[in-house]
Amino acid sequence: MVEVSPENRNPRLIVHRSSHQIGGNCIEIAYQGHRLILDAGSLLDGNADDAISAPASLNTSMPVDGVVVSHSHQDHYGLLRGLPESWPVWCGRPTERLMRLTAARTGDSLPQDVHPFRSFEPFAVGPFKVTPLLTDHSAFDAHMILVEVGNRKISIPVTSGKRAASRSSLNGRSTLPSRMSMCSSSKEPRSAAPRPSQPNTALRSGSRRSSNRRLVACSYPVRRRSSTER
């Protein structure tokens, strides 16, 4: 039986880069010796060498369970060229195609093995349960990433740059950026989704319960076309 130290019993979120600039996104979730990297982007304002230079805080000498790329913008995947070839990568299939097309135009290639995921379908990366949530963004096939590990849920928005990921400290412990969220077990009771006639009431109620920023998602029903309309 392996003794787990108290500090390793809960997942730890590390923002390696993008907390003080836009671009170069690189976030790590560490849990009981396992590591998951969320996005590996190059700096937008750096030179060619900076583009493939990993953040000083990112340990590239140790293995990771995987790297999950949210979309095909360079500030979210451009660092892959500077990371170990042994680090496996997960992304959407269209994102993989776009990354390979971009690399081919510059005479480069993706050094890692790439595993495609499907939107809204959970998959396992070591002890991490990862669910890619297709979302609206200026890049095609962009995903918000939901990670479940150690009885916690961590959601990472598709853009976690300067305005979205400012780090803070509370009692000497790093806390999550304002637009990232960590919640406890899914066993917590959930309130029923508001009916279409109640959105304003639900928003006001949520605002009173929390002083943090809120991410609001809305959707509209889509009528499926019949076979005669296709």
Contact (CB, 8 A) for 11 and 27: no
- Does 23 reside within a domain? yes
- DSSP class of residue 7 equals G
pLDDT value for 53: 86
From the list 24, 88, 78, the residue with the least C-alpha distance to 56 is 24
- Does 225 reside within a domain? no
Tens of pLDDT, residues 136-164: 898 999 999 999 999 999 998 876 544 44
- Does 71 reside within a domain? yes
On the question of pLDDT at 174 being above 50, the answer is no
What average pLDDT does the structure give for the chain?
77
Phi, psi of 21 (to 5 degrees): -155, 165
- DSSP class of residue 43 equals B
pLDDT value for 19: 78
Q: What residues contact residue 216 under an 8 Å CB cut-off, 6+ apart?
A: 203
What DSSP string runs through 48-111?
A: HHHHTPPPTTS--SS--SEEE--SS-HHHHGGGGGS-TTS-EEEEHHHHHHHHHHHHHTT----
On the question of pLDDT at 215 being above 60, the answer is no
Residue 186's CATH number:
3.60.15.10
The residue to which tokens 């070591």 are assigned: 126
Task: Name the β-bridge partners of 43.
Answer: 23
Phi, psi of 153 (to 5 degrees): -120, 130
- Does 114 reside within a domain? yes
pLDDT band at 172 (very low <50, low <70, confident <90, very high): very low
The Cβ-side half-sphere exposure at 221, using a 13 Å CA radius, reads 5
From the list 62, 37, 24, 205, the residue with the least C-alpha distance to 130 is 37
From the list 46, 81, 57, the residue with the least C-alpha distance to 67 is 81
- Does 230 reside within a domain? no
Of all residues in the chain, what percent carry a pLDDT higher than 70? Answer: 63
Q: Does residue 205 come out as left (phi exceeding 0), alpha (psi in the -120 to 50 range) or beta?
A: alpha
The residue to which tokens 């560490």 are assigned: 30
pLDDT band at 11 (very low <50, low <70, confident <90, very high): very high
Domain of residue 177, residue span: 6-197
Token pair for 27: 């976030």
Lowest mean pLDDT among 37-46, 109-118, 163-172: 163-172
Give the count of domains, the chain.
Answer: 1
On the question of pLDDT at 79 being above 70, the answer is yes
- Does 217 reside within a domain? no
- Does 228 reside within a domain? no
- Does 128 reside within a domain? yes
Q: What residues contact residue 11 under an 8 Å CB cut-off, 6+ apart?
A: 29, 30, 31, 149, 150, 152, 154, 182
